[in-house]
Amino acid sequence: MTVIEISSFGGPEVLRPAERPKPSPNPGEIVIGIKAAGVARADTLQRRGKYPPPLGASDIPGLDVAGVVDTVGESVDNFSAGERVCAILAGGGYAQYCAVPSCQALPIPEGWTDVEAATLPENLFTVYDNLVTRAALRGGETLLIHGGSSGIGTMAIMLCRAWGATPIVTAGTKEKCDACLRLGAAHAINYRTSDFLAEIRTLTAAKGVEVVLDMVGGAYLKKNVDALAPEGRIVIIATQGGATGDLDIRKLMHKRARVMGSTMRARSPQQKGEVAKGLLRDVWPLLPAKNPICPVIDAVFPLAEARLAHERMEGGEHIGKIVLAVQ
Ligand SMILES: NC(=O)c1ccc[n+]([C@@H]2O[C@H](COP(=O)([O-])OP(=O)(O)OC[C@H]3O[C@@H](n4cnc5c(N)ncnc54)[C@H](OP(=O)(O)O)[C@@H]3O)[C@@H](O)[C@H]2O)c1
């Protein structure tokens, strides 16, 4: 099969087509004939040598795919050959086929194309697990989403709306802010021209927000705590602004607040399977309507041009998810 390899660590040009053996399923796995693969920020970090795959995972980049079940391993009882599925992977998505524990796959929702379905796994597993399971976001609450126009951010806006909560986002340009508003953000703060903390205080009449979904990390920790309402929760999923920051513990205590963090990639198949069960129960019934959760696709590139997809992502102008079309 054709794959895209990281030939050596470096810029997008190190992504090269190569031939590898087609995988066979181990017990509990399915092999997916990949039709589309999502591109994630993590893939660009892996390409630069800054985010190694977890032990035992494929060295090929790619954390989410959509396609058709090609082969089924022993003791798989949730999917059969020929079914359309999307799945979250620990790696290996930039390829014609991948093997994945069947508990990490979900059916492609009715009315979603393969390219559209490839926008779902990484974004939904991450956003649902952090907002619903960890931060326990409830209807009526207000959520601050940093990086609102990212793949993750756009999904967070839509899931927040589906939950009956109010999303406020930050983004770096007017165009990105406008896109977030069109997706359902109640307010979009351009963090390059405004102080998000001052804006949050004004927008919430000094109360603050109940939940913050943060992908900036250290540089925002102090302000995120300041932006919290009593009993507020911060969930950190990336450290693009540094891995350490100032935490005023007295403020945290006074607000009875919580700061949490998580990563998805290194979790076991069983743990990812638990997230998949929650998604199937709570989110999958919402998807056929494509409202409020719809595909937000910035650009589609052929698999062989993965290099261009990475250039687009690192250029930083994208809004939503970048997808690779396979076969
Ligand atoms: N922990 C996990 O399990 C997990 C899972 C999936 C993704 N993630 C992380 O979530 C983030 C989004 O992933 P993605 O694939 O959706 O990537 P993406 O589309 O490239 O999004 C990155 C976003 O980060 C924002 N950003 C970067 N530096 C910033 C800064 N200093 N201040 C404010 N915003 C900043 C950018 O916003 P502007 O362009 O507006 O500046 C951009 O929207 C990535 O950092 C990724 O590693 C974590």
CA of 23 to the centre of ligand 1 (A): 31
For 287-321, the pLDDT digits (tens) are 999 999 999 999 999 999 999 999 999 999 999 99
CA of 295 to the centre of ligand 1 (A): 18
pLDDT interval class at 115 (50, 70, 90): very high
- How much of the chain, in percent, has pLDDT values that exceed 70? 100
CA atoms within 13 A on the CB side of 312: 20
Contacts of 169 (CB under 8 A, 6+ apart): 144, 145, 146, 148, 149, 153, 157, 177, 180, 185, 187, 188, 189
Strand pairing of 321-325 and 29-39? antiparallel
Any idea which residue has 């591109």 for tokens? 39
Asked if residue 298 lies in contact with residue 38, where contact means CB atoms within 8 angstroms, the answer is: no
The pLDDT of residue 327 is 76
The pLDDT of residue 89 is 98
Strand pairing of 209-214 and 228-236? parallel
Contacts of 175 (CB under 8 A, 6+ apart): 319
Q: How far apart are CA 12 and CA 74, in angstroms?
A: 38
Give the closest residue (by CA) to ligand 1 atom 34. Answer: 147
For 117-136, the pLDDT digits (tens) are 999 999 999 999 999 999 99
The pLDDT of residue 274 is 98
- How much of the chain, in percent, has pLDDT values that exceed 90? 100
Asked if residue 214 lies in contact with residue 236, where contact means CB atoms within 8 angstroms, the answer is: yes
| Alpha carbon distances (Å) from 48 to 44, 63, 149, 150 | 6, 16, 23, 20
- In the numeric block, which tokens belong to residue 272? 């990812």
Q: How far apart are CA 19 and CA 33, in angstroms?
A: 15
Q: Is 286's pLDDT higher than 80?
A: yes
pTM over 0.75: yes
CA of 27 to the centre of ligand 1 (A): 35
Q: Which segments of 163-266 does DSSP mark as H helices, in order?
A: 174-183, 196-203, 221-226, 249-254
CA of 150 to the centre of ligand 1 (A): 6
CA atoms within 13 A on the CB side of 235: 24
Backbone angles phi, psi at 69, to 5 degrees: -65, 120
Which residues, in sequence order, are bridge partners of residue 19?
2
Per the prediction, the chain carries an average pLDDT of 98
Site residues for ligand 1, CB cut-off 6 Å: 40-42, 122, 126, 146-147, 149-153, 171-172, 176, 191, 215-216, 237-238, 240-241, 262-264, 313, 316
Atom of ligand 1 nearest to the CA of 313: 20
The pLDDT of residue 314 is 98
DSSP 263: -
Q: Which segments of 228-293 does DSSP mark as H helices, in order?
A: 249-254, 269-282
Which residues, in sequence order, are bridge partners of residue 302?
325
